[in-house]
Chains A and B, each alone.
Chain A
Amino acid sequence: MSENFEPNVVAFLCNWCSYAGADLAGTSRIEYPSNLNVIRVMCSGRVNPMFVVNALQQGADGVLVSGCHPGDCHYMEGNFLARRRVALMRELLNFVGVDERRFNMSWVSASEGAKWRDVVKGVVDNLHEVGAFTEFPRKKIDW
């Protein structure tokens, strides 16, 4: 792995908790790695596992799905539904040989700016270890 490899992480944050948590980390001047491309979704239950496959195809090295803590979901059960899907998709990706550290999920509430920093640091550190995603990125055709 090249020395200056910086992973590209796509983060799906739920509008009500994790996005606000990341916002709090920002307004509190908490420093965390800048490898994230944040996509705000209304609920972690909105994240179709195909989003993850698609992100990996389009050049992401890792994906982070973050939602409210169990029981705190704005829509009552969205994060529980997401948890089942993510658990199965992680296993499937792992089975075909994609490192499971590329697909992460976390619960971060709106008041957990510091936890958000730790989560992002953990994900990015892991991805530094795992390296660039080479299994099935979409080849860009250079006409």
Chain B
Amino acid sequence: MPDFDKLRALAKETISRDDIKYLIGWRQGTYGYRTSPHFVRIPEDADQLIFSPLCSSNLATYLALAEKRPVPRGSQPDTRKVAILVKGCDSRAVVQQLVEQGIKREAVYVIGCPCEGVVDLRKLEEKYPHTLDRVGARWENGNVSLDLPSGNAVFPREEIVAGKCLTCRYPNPVIADVTLGENVEVSGSTAFEDINRFEVKSAQERWTFWRDKFNSCIRCYACRNVCPMCYCAECILDKQNPAWIQRSVNISENTAFQLARAFHLAGRCIECGECERVCPVEIPLSYLNRKLVKEVTEQFAFTPGVDPEAKPLLVGYRPNDKGDFIL
């Protein structure tokens, strides 16, 4: 198993502070390659923390979704901070939530973990299906090393990390109170080659592609639930009056749902790829998101989740915004 002493020592030190409520990190999951979110409330719990290429989940989701219980009469509200371990992409989610005032800066303590890319479990599952024994993993000189039951295996990064990591432009946390380890080299680019390749297809081809994908959607809303940006107390997907999206599972409602979900992330999506990871029917949701990221970058030269002082994209405007489509 890789060495997590530094991480655990830092976590222990953090959770022992008086102004920290709890710490959110990762721990080894129940079986196989799985990792679970881990909520550390007492220093002893910090012994289970890990940070490895298998820690793909974005913990920023838990910041804004934390239950806000009413404060009992006569007692003071708990103003202690929540400490959170973030990878580069997760840190952008934290920043975007700060921009949108979903959370307050003084309410979070960000521990940055520079990340060389997380493993795509689907790729791993293909190579080693049905692995039940717990598997550890670590980064080694640009490769990913896995401690499988059959012995150690080393894969080149390109072969095994998630697609979002291959184009990642922010592997290092953009916001951090304390950083764990050294910053890693940035290799991603802003080229949207996959999107451009898809765009040149005919409208008919594009619709056929998406119709098949949307048809398979079972409307479990896992993509919304896992998304760190989807934290509205009232969501149009849940509203019955007006019912913008009806509950029936058919191509019309599925498409409306997918368009609504994608559009609500316009200028907000920080490309953590969680929606795609959790989708049980493997809809390429990051394609839709990346299309909007591309438009936002090219039309408005805007990158969400980088500057905590920025204004959200759609609440502002420039008089010279592109308007060549206007009749």
Say yes or no for A135: interface residue by CB 8 A criterion: yes
- In the complex with contacts A49-B263, A84-B300, A97-B206 CB distance below 8 A: yes
A residues in contact with B296, CB < 8 Å: 88
Say yes or no for B210: interface residue by CB 8 A criterion: yes
Say yes or no for B259: interface residue by CB 8 A criterion: yes
Contact pattern, A 84-113, Cβ under 8 Å of B = 1, otherwise 0: 111111111111111110001111000000
A-B contacts counted at CB < 8 A amount to: 113
A residues in contact with B250, CB < 8 Å: 139
Which has the most chain B C-beta neighbours within 10 Å: A50, A95, A122? A95
Is there contact, CB below 8 Å, between A122 and B244? no
Say yes or no for A39: interface residue by CB 8 A criterion: no
Could you tell me which residues of chain B, from 249 to 292, have a CB within 8 Å of some CB in chain A?
250-253, 255-256, 258-260, 262-263, 266-267, 288, 291-292
Q: Which residue of A lies closest to B266 (CB)?
A: A88
- In the complex with contacts A53-B256, A53-B259, A137-B252, A123-B327 CB distance below 8 A: yes
Is there contact, CB below 8 Å, between B322 and A77? no
Q: Chain A's nearest CB lies how many Å from the CB of B214?
A: 8
Q: Chain B's nearest CB lies how many Å from the CB of A61?
A: 15
Alpha-carbon gap, A119 to B327, bound state (A): 7
Is there contact, CB below 8 Å, between A84 and B321? yes
Instruction: Return the contact of B262 from the options A92, A106, A107 (Cβ within 8 A).
Output: A92
Is there contact, CB below 8 Å, between B206 and A80? no
A residues in contact with B151, CB < 8 Å: none
Is there contact, CB below 8 Å, between A77 and B317? yes
- In the complex with contacts A53-B256, A95-B288, A95-B291, A83-B263 CB distance below 8 A: no
Say yes or no for A138: interface residue by CB 8 A criterion: yes
- In the complex with contacts A84-B313, A87-B299, A88-B292, A98-B322 CB distance below 8 A: no
Please choose the segment from B61-69, B93-101, B105-113, B197-205 that sits at the chain A interface, where 4 or more of its residues have CB less than 8 A away: B197-205
Instruction: Return the contact of A80 from the options B263, B292, B319 (Cβ within 8 A).
Output: B319
B residues in contact with A80, CB < 8 Å: 317-319, 321
Q: Chain B's nearest CB lies how many Å from the CB of A57?
A: 5
A and B contact pairs by CB, cutoff 8 A, 23 listed: A49-B263, A70-B323, A71-B319, A81-B314, A81-B317, A83-B326, A84-B300, A84-B321, A87-B325, A92-B263, A92-B266, A92-B291, A94-B203, A95-B198, A96-B207, A98-B203, A99-B203, A104-B327, A106-B327, A119-B327, A135-B211, A136-B251, A138-B253
A contacts, CB < 8 Å to B? 49-50, 53-54, 57, 70-71, 77, 80-81, 83-100, 104-107, 119, 122-123, 135-139
